[in-house]
């Protein structure tokens, strides 16, 4: 398969409004500070926990319950969780329920039933979280990924295991990842790599790889908090069997987003210090692109830096357009407009290299009207598209085209909860008389793709179309 690996142009553009100019007609009453969340299968945003009066809250926003009413408010159920969930991780399961793992001094996990307002029946004691909590904790916001066999990969501080969410048994444990601490407040990054169902050699279960990178020394938060010494962030990069590779720069509190074409983007964060108030220095302004399919040593590419520091409490999101929405950063306990690192209210749009106009001629355009938008497990679905440039479509071959599906994550504190990208299995591509292509794909199982809304992209040799929302159930 050919790819545009030599493309380099990328750009930050300041968007036209500031966060604090956005007026909201809705409000949250229980404190959602450092909570977690996810998008439920019906499109409702479900967010759990936070601080003080919100620490055991389950809150719901939007979805069918609003029935098209755009003034529909948050629906909060205080005290619904059995244990405090401050810095917990929430991830969607094949059943469409969420699991919520950990939180400060909460060494347990709970399942959130699908029915709004129903509370989890009980907490499941999880000693692993107790065992991986050190002097600085370094195990909050644990990295949780739904593996391809339906088990949960859970990474906390420097250890990881596979948990069966049906039997609640630990299936296996993995070697310690030496070199430092990876979870909050050391705040490294992690994602499950794109799940490739398109290639023939896939077996059951489908191969899964997880990356964990960045973070800091186990005592880095203590040094930052007590001595205001900002220890350099980690820049090694391990994958299962914990192969190591070096990132071009150290990064703590960064985001690791999967892009529509299967590349990864490391963005935001700091090169020194940890999460916490006034606990970091040396913002990492340079986004880094990562090519998982290239050989070790050739996988990283540094992109054009931003001018704006994005450290503690910054965030980012992949948009259907393929652009990256970048916002936030507040390194203090209150808003401070005058400071070395002021409270950041500006929003940026970052264009990864694949949005370069030079590639528009190769860019597929999805025909949303005639493409399948409701997907059913194990059934085929059709995506219609054309090429922007009629000449480009003449030499189009099937192997150049990938159909990818992105589950929109809940990104906070450097972790994108429930993030996954599937490269789906395609069965054929046909061109009709008017030059429209029809690509037939197979909807994956719910273990591979939990139910809900995905952004679907058609990707031509690394150049993605604009995304289209689809729903799988």
Interface positions with Cu ion (CB under 5 A): 34
To Cu ion, the closest distance from the beta carbon of 128 in angstroms equals 23
DSSP string, 422-458: EE-EEEEEEE-TTS-EEEEEE---TTTS-SEEEEEEE
Nearer to Cu ion, 34 or 55 (CB): 34
Nearer to Cu ion, 34 or 270 (CB): 34
To Cu ion, the closest distance from the beta carbon of 343 in angstroms equals 14
What is the phi/psi pair of residue 200, to 5°? -70, -30
Tokens 């908090």 found at: 225
Nearer to Cu ion, 49 or 467 (CB): 49
DSSP bridge partners of 56? none
Nearer to Cu ion, 222 or 246 (CB): 222
8 Å CB contact between 244 and 238: yes
Q: How far is CA 30 from CA 22, 44, 47, 355, in A?
A: 21, 18, 11, 40
Tokens 């430092």 found at: 180
Task: Report angle CA 174, 254, 234 to the nearest 5 degrees.
Answer: 55
To Cu ion, the closest distance from the beta carbon of 153 in angstroms equals 24
To Cu ion, the closest distance from the beta carbon of 310 in angstroms equals 14
Cβ-count burial 408-419 (b if 16+ within 10 Å, e if not): bbbbbbbbbbbb
Nearer to Cu ion, 125 or 335 (CB): 335
What is the phi/psi pair of residue 314, to 5°? -100, 165
Q: How far is CA 402 from CA 269, 423, 425, in A?
A: 31, 7, 9
Q: How far is CA 142 from CA 22, 191, 255, 462, in A?
A: 31, 12, 14, 31
Nearer to Cu ion, 52 or 369 (CB): 52
To Cu ion, the closest distance from the beta carbon of 197 in angstroms equals 36
Nearer to Cu ion, 34 or 318 (CB): 34
The residue of the chain with the least Cβ separation from Cu ion equals: 34
Nearer to Cu ion, 62 or 215 (CB): 215
What is the phi/psi pair of residue 42, to 5°? -90, 5
Nearer to Cu ion, 272 or 313 (CB): 313
To Cu ion, the closest distance from the beta carbon of 84 in angstroms equals 15
Cβ-count burial 430-458 (b if 16+ within 10 Å, e if not): eeeeeebbbbbbbbbebbbbbbbbbbbbb
What distance lies between CA 312 and its chain's CA centroid?
17
> How many angstroms separate the CA atoms of 183 and 140, rounded?
6
Report DSSP state, residue 134: B
Give percent helix, percent strand, percent coil of the chain, each to the nearest 5. 10, 40, 55
8 Å CB contact between 298 and 291: yes
To Cu ion, the closest distance from the beta carbon of 34 in angstroms equals 4
To Cu ion, the closest distance from the beta carbon of 270 in angstroms equals 14
To Cu ion, the closest distance from the beta carbon of 379 in angstroms equals 41
To Cu ion, the closest distance from the beta carbon of 331 in angstroms equals 11
Nearer to Cu ion, 34 or 211 (CB): 34
């Amino acid at each position: 398969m050919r790819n545009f690996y030599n493309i380099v142009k990328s750009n930050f553009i300041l968007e036209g409004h500031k966060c604090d100019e956005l007026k909201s007609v809705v409000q949250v009453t229980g404190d959602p500070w450092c909570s977690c969340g996810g998008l439920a299968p019906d499109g409702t945003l479900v967010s759990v926990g936070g601080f003080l009066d919100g620490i055991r809250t389950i809150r719901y926003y939007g979805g069918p319950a609003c029935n098209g009413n755009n003034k529909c408010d948050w629906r909060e159920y205080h005290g619904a969780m059995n244990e405090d969930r401050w810095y917990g991780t929430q991830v969607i399961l094949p059943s469409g329920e969420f699991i919520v793992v950990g939180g400060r001094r909460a060494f347990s996990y709970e399942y959130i039933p699908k029915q709004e307002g129903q509370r989890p029946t009980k907490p499941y004691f999880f000693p692993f979280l107790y065992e991986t909590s050190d002097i600085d904790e370094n195990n909050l916001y644990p990295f949780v990924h739904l593996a391809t066999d339906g088990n949960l990969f859970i990474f906390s501080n420097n250890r990881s295991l596979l948990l069966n969410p049906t039997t609640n048994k630990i299936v296996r444990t993995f070697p310690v990842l030496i070199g430092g601490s990876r979870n909050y407040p050391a705040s490294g990054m992690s994602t499950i790599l794109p799940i490739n169902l398109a290639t023939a050699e896939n077996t059951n279960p489908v191969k899964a790889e997880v990356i964990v990178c960045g973070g800091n020394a186990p005592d880095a938060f203590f040094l930052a908090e007590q001595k205001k010494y900002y220890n350099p962030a980690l820049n090694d990069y391990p994958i299962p069997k914990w192969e190591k590779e070096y990132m071009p720069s150290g990064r703590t509190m960064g985001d690791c987003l999967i892009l529509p074409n299967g590349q990864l983007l490391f963005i935001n964060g700091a090169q020194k210090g940890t999460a916490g108030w006034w606990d970091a220095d040396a913002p990492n302004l340079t986004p880094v692109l990562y090519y998982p399919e290239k050989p070790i040593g050739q996988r990283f590419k540094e992109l054009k830096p931003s001018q704006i520091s994005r450290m503690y409490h910054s965030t980012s999101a992949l948009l259907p357009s393929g652009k990256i929405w970048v916002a936030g950063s507040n390194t203090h306990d209150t808003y401070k407009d005058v400071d070395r690192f002021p409270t950041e209210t500006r929003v940026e749009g970052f264009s990864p290299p694949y949005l370069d106009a030079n590639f528009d001629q190769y860019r597929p355009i999805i025909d949303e009207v005639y493409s399948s938008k409701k997907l059913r497990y194990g059934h085929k679905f059709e995506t219609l598209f054309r090429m922007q440039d009629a000449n480009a479509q003449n030499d189009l071959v099937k192997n150049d085209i990938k159909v990818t599906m992105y589950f929109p994550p809940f990104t906070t504190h450097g972790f994108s909860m429930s993030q996954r990208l599937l490269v789906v299995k395609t069965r054929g591509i046909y061109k009709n008389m008017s030059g429209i292509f029809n690509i037939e794909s197979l909807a994956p199982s719910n273990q591979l793709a939990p139910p809900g809304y995905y952004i679907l992209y058609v990707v031509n040799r690394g150049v993605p179309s604009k995304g289209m929302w689809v729903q799988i159930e």
